[in-house]
Amino acid sequence: MESQEEKPIIYTMENKPIVTCAGDQGLFTSLYTSLAQQLPREPMEWRRTYGRAPKMIHLEANFVQFKEELLPKDGNKALLTFPFLHIYWTDCCDTEVYKGTVKEDVMRWQNSLRGHGSADWVIIVVETNDTKKKNKTNILPRSSIVDKIRSDFCNKQNDRCVVLSDPLKDSSRSQESWNSLLLKLRTLLLMSFTKNLGRFEDDMRTLREKRTQPGWSFCEYFMVQEELAFVFEMLQQFEDALVQYDELDALFTQYVLNFGAGDTANWLSSFCAPVRSWSGLLLRRPIDMEKRDGIQRGEASLLDLRSYLFSRQCTLLIFLQRPWEVTQRALELLHNCVQELRLLEVSVLEGALDCWVFLSCLEVLHRIEGCCDQEQLASNCSHTVGLWAYATDKLKSLGELCGLVSEKGPTSEDLNRTVDLLAGLGDERPETVNSLQSPYKKLKEALSSVEAFERHYLELSHAAMEMYGAIGRLRSARLVGKSLAEFYMRKGEPEKAETFLQEALKSYVSEGWSLPVTHTRKQIAACRKLLGRTEDYLQTSALLAGDANLTTEERKHFCQEILTFAAKSGDNTQKVTLSMGVFAQLTRLQFHPATASVHSGAVLQVELTLRCLMPVSVHIQQVAASIHFDVDHGGTHGRSKASQRQTNPGTVEFNQGSSSAGPPSSSSAAGPALELDEIHDRSPSDNSLSSVGVVCKNTHLIMRRHDSSSPPDTPNCVSPAVAMKEGAQMLKVQDVTLEPGNNRITFTAPSGQPGTYTLRQLCATVGQVQFVLPHIYPSVQYEVYSQEPQLTVEPLSEPLLAGLPQMVKFTLLTGHYAVKKGDALQLSNTDTMPILPSSSCSARISNPAAELLSESVLSIQSSEKVTSISLPPTPPYHTLEFQLEVLCIIPSGSDRPANERLTNGEVRHRPRSYSHPDTPMTAIDQRMSIDCPWSIYSTLLALTFYIPFKTKHSLLSAGNRKYIQVCVQNVSDVNFTLAEVKLTEKQHASLELQSLTTKAKQPLCSKHSVFCLWEVRWKDDLPSCLQCVFSANFSPTNQDVSSLKPFHYQFQLERVTTLYSVRAEILPPAGEQYCHSGLLCGLEVCITRLTEPEEGEIAEESNTDGLRTTKLMYEVADSSSNWAVCGKSSGMVSMPMTANATHKVQIEVMPLFAGHLPFPKIKVLKYLPHTAAVAIQPDPDSCVENDSLSLLDKTLDDQADTASIRSRGSVHSVGSADQQQKGVAMPRLEPFGPGQAFNHSHAQQVLVLPSTDDHIMEVNAT
């Protein structure tokens, strides 16, 4: 076999199924080429036993001359040399020749086959035209020779004799004959394969089932099953061949595992022999016959068996075009072999396994490179990178073992060990002798010198790292880099090792691998110590001192390193700033008081809880916290923060994963969280909200640059930009000892200037070392306020009722003002809300915690305009409370007096009542002006009182008699008692108002009403206008009679006199005594004027007799649909303006129903001509509703004789709306006031009988 230097040849199996050829060899030789070429062209379906899936295969054959030595002997299980088919060739067409020689030759051939148990044969008779011409005289028909052969040798198997006609001619007959022959040969071959392979598999299965018997040998069974694999490979069924080797691999692995569990096998003892050769895998040969012979003889070692088995699997996988599976299996093989040698307790020279693994890795890689191009290798480096990394690791182990990594170089003992390892490699294989980059040469060169080793090791390491980086496996790349860093540390080159260690640490920290983090930090600490980088070394030492993965002694060592540096003194010693998170963790912060809000000058304490991570007690010279101060503007200058309106938490718990707590984690590595705050922009003119925004409060931390090359401890390192800054506002505590675990430190916070104080940084100073927490998160704030005095007045109970004494509470928050002796409040007195004197008014003084400090009696002095309240001395930021009794006078509706002025010169505004949407009671706002000693301006305060009553009045008439009714409704929730109810008239002394109410006291319950009635009596004439005053005393039901309070209600009644009397009479039809439904009746309306003309009453001169008259409009309507008005229902009459003047109107009506029917409704209205003045507003005191009429487009005179005029709502004018809008004077209608027109028949009824109707009723009696 030959090999090429750069790209080894991929060998294929040359073996083919053997087919023997007997008979005429010359004939066969002439047909061999055509037969060999055409046989594998067409695939055949191979149906196998045991339900295995059929496959399409191309059959090839190795045609050899028949020899009896080729026939299998008893016990020979070799399938590769087994003849699967026997062919006898003849072209005999002569009877004599057939009988003389051919028949006997065929008979001997069959006897030989039968003697060796071979039944797979076929006789091929070749017929050509040349043969026929030579033997024309003795030629029999073609079928005769074939029939004789079939009758002589193929009695029961006629298909075993095949005729091939004119095989060398290019004709359709010849081609058809060839096709038939080829199909027959393929069929017979498949039948032979199926039969013989099935028999072989049964024998192999039987042999495998005997593996538990003594004397069973795995090597013998290996050779048997490999024979089957060879046959499958010969048939190009590489997948089936691979299965055979995989089964052998699994069987051997199971025996090794059983051996490790205590179940031993005798044949395994040959594999437990010491390993003498570790030359690695050999993949450049299809079959390593040397190792196969060793397995066949039972002399192979474990490595030899594994190497040979994998080489065969590799060959088949490459045939299957699955080279990347080779790399995967190779990596598993190398790891498993190391474990199997340990399980079998095989004696191996130290370093021999590393050599074997290294050579095997490179051999697999070179084998893959030989069958793949560079583009495929680059795109599939994820499959090969594991072998590169494994080879790198083993080469490093060999370097450490042979002394090639130390600074001093190898010793004599190391050199002897190197010689022993190289001796175990043996001679280089012939396949790689001419290759300059063979694994053998690389290993031998790497172990020859320190420089060569370093070159090869760095080449492999960087190659592995690049591949890991290319496929995105950064963790593995950094692991190789960490191994490379250890190499540099052994070489005494820490500056090269630090970069790789930092990359590895970054990966471990981000993924949370605590133990690798600890180990890598120890290496970084050693590296930085060698480099003399003090600050970085102390930073790492602090991390290790607080690392719980280390032992106590190791932690104390690193802690002592920090304390030793901190104890140094001298001018040349520079202070070092470290992260607080590696030294101690801020776990809790608590304010006292818990509101985190105090007034200026008050005492505020801040208690920090620090969890010390050091293993020993640490004395700290100073603990300081920097404070950022924001001046509090109170939100009155346009822009206000939402946070100023929120309550700061008194206790803040810090998350251990945040940047303020401890070592870096995945959450802290992402950077500090956003601190957002809401801002409102208000208009400076009216303080209305104009815009809303969000601002980031820690932009200086979010936006700062993060260096990609920074060490992985960056979240806990302090850069100069965020180092502790000395400022005016600081919290400081001296000489503190931190014990391991939780420690409490108490600060006294500055509270002199009002504003918001934010804790920004925390610093602990230990000698020359400062531990700084650059940013306290979440944000911690406390507020110092300077409050102006505030005076508020609020009712002691809701609601405040007008007319009754009510208690109000005055609350004074002194703020920054200290009430001195002699300070007093000056209250402006008002006649609508006087302050009632009291001798037992006391003031209560309480501190900010609402604890009562003192109580004293107030001194109250009242004058005509001012009430002075002397205040007791009160400290700043205390609360002063006292109560006063006030009385709100219920307004009676009297005339408004002249404007009064308050003590400060402002005009006093009279309180006006209004309807409140939340209660049915009428509300009154009472304002008071208070002069305070701390301000030059008066304070205006308002109290809302509610009137418990609603009062209504009405004028009632009965002919000429007049009555006044007053209704008092209790709309409050309090029950009252009314007493001394009176009604008086202020202008006419001769007028008498006689009360018809008999009770002196009347209860007025909540949500109920009381009605009072008076009859008006007069002597001469009844005045047209009355000025009335209703008065009563009231008090709550549960109080004494002495607590009655007055209540007045004034009202005015106009147009009281009755001007007209209206009488109606319904007359039955002629000849009837009663009205009947459906028959017309007569309605007679009589309108009588009762008085002489009044002053200002509109009158007209009559054209006939010169009398002064006035026009009235009447209308008859029935809203209850009891009557039908027939004919004219309305009209106009002219009434003489003299007493007792009468006018009658006749109207026809028809009752629609029977019974006592009320009279139709009769309306009488004033008719005002167009010359009369337009009434701008209706009478507000009118209590009687009168329907009005609307006449459109025509004057009233023209419409008087038309049909009935319909009511059009409450429109009083006659004419179109357009005419009114244009200012054209139109006549109009005006209703009479209450009682001016009295209808005597308003409540009268008339009897209406049903109409006569005859009905026929049939009654059946049985």
Report how far residue 33's alpha carbon sits from residue 167's, in angstroms, rounded to the nearest whole number: 12
1209 is written with which tokens?
């709502």
Q: Taking Cα atoms as reference points, which of 36, 30, 44 lies closest to residue 63?
A: 36
Report how far residue 302's alpha carbon sits from residue 1202's, in angstroms, rounded to the nearest whole number: 136
What 3-state class would DSSP assign to 1061? strand
DSSP 482-541: HHHHHHHHHTT-HHHHHHHHHHHHHHHHHHT-HHHHHHHHHHHHHHHHHHT-HHHHHHHH
Report how far residue 791's alpha carbon sits from residue 285's, in angstroms, rounded to the nearest whole number: 106
Element (H, E) at 151: helix 142-153
Report how far residue 951's alpha carbon sits from residue 967's, in angstroms, rounded to the nearest whole number: 6
Residue 1259 buriedness (CB in 10 A; 0-12 / 13-18 / 19+): exposed
pTM over 0.85: no
Going from the C-alpha of 1254 to that of each of 1066, 1074, 1257, the distances in angstroms are 27, 19, 10
Report how far residue 895's alpha carbon sits from residue 265's, in angstroms, rounded to the nearest whole number: 129
What 3-state class would DSSP assign to 1184? coil
Sign of CA dihedral 50, 52, 56, 61: negative
509 is written with which tokens?
């920290």
Going from the C-alpha of 1005 to that of each of 948, 969, 997, 1011, the distances in angstroms are 11, 9, 18, 13
Please report how many Cα atoms fall inside a 13 Å half-sphere around the Cα of residue 1258, on the Cβ side: 1
The whole-number pLDDT of residue 132 equals 53
β 976-985/1001-1004 pair status: antiparallel
1075 is written with which tokens?
């009205």
Report how far residue 481's alpha carbon sits from residue 1165's, in angstroms, rounded to the nearest whole number: 114
The whole-number pLDDT of residue 574 equals 77
Q: Any idea of the CA torsion for 751, 752, 756, 758, to the nearest 10 degrees? A: -60
225 is written with which tokens?
């099953």
Q: Which residues contact 224 (CB under 8 A, 6 or more apart)?
A: 77, 203, 204, 207
DSSP 1123-1150: EEEES--EEEEEEESSTT-EEEEEEEEE
Q: Taking Cα atoms as reference points, which of 568, 518, 569 lies closest to residue 543?
A: 518
- Asked if residues 1229 and 1210 have their Cβ atoms less than 8 Å apart, the reply is no
- Asked if residues 833 and 926 have their Cβ atoms less than 8 Å apart, the reply is yes
Element (H, E) at 359: helix 352-371
pLDDT along the chain (1262 residues), means of 10: 36 70 87 85 80 82 84 72 87 81 86 83 81 51 70 77 82 86 87 85 89 89 90 87 93 90 84 87 86 88 92 91 91 92 90 92 90 83 90 92 85 90 86 81 90 92 92 89 90 89 89 90 91 89 90 92 84 78 90 86 90 92 90 45 54 68 40 74 77 81 57 43 61 92 92 87 90 88 87 88 89 88 87 82 87 87 86 89 88 55 52 70 87 88 89 87 91 90 86 85 91 88 86 88 84 86 90 88 90 73 70 86 86 86 90 90 85 48 35 37 35 45 67 84 89 68 71
Q: Which residues contact 994 (CB under 8 A, 6 or more apart)?
A: 1014, 1015, 1017
Report how far residue 308's alpha carbon sits from residue 306's, in angstroms, rounded to the nearest whole number: 6
Helix axes 172-209, 25-38, angle to 10 degrees: 80
- Asked if residues 984 and 1028 have their Cβ atoms less than 8 Å apart, the reply is yes
- Asked if residues 539 and 713 have their Cβ atoms less than 8 Å apart, the reply is yes
Going from the C-alpha of 694 to that of each of 173, 641, 643, 680, 688, the distances in angstroms are 97, 10, 12, 9, 18
CB crowding 204-226: b at 16 or more within 10 Å, else e: beebeeeeeeeebebbebbebbb
Going from the C-alpha of 327 to that of each of 367, 377, 650, the distances in angstroms are 10, 12, 64
Q: What count of other Cβ atoms lies within 10 Å of the Cβ of residue 78?
A: 11
Span between the terminal Cα atoms of the chain, in Å: 140
- Asked if residues 265 and 333 have their Cβ atoms less than 8 Å apart, the reply is no
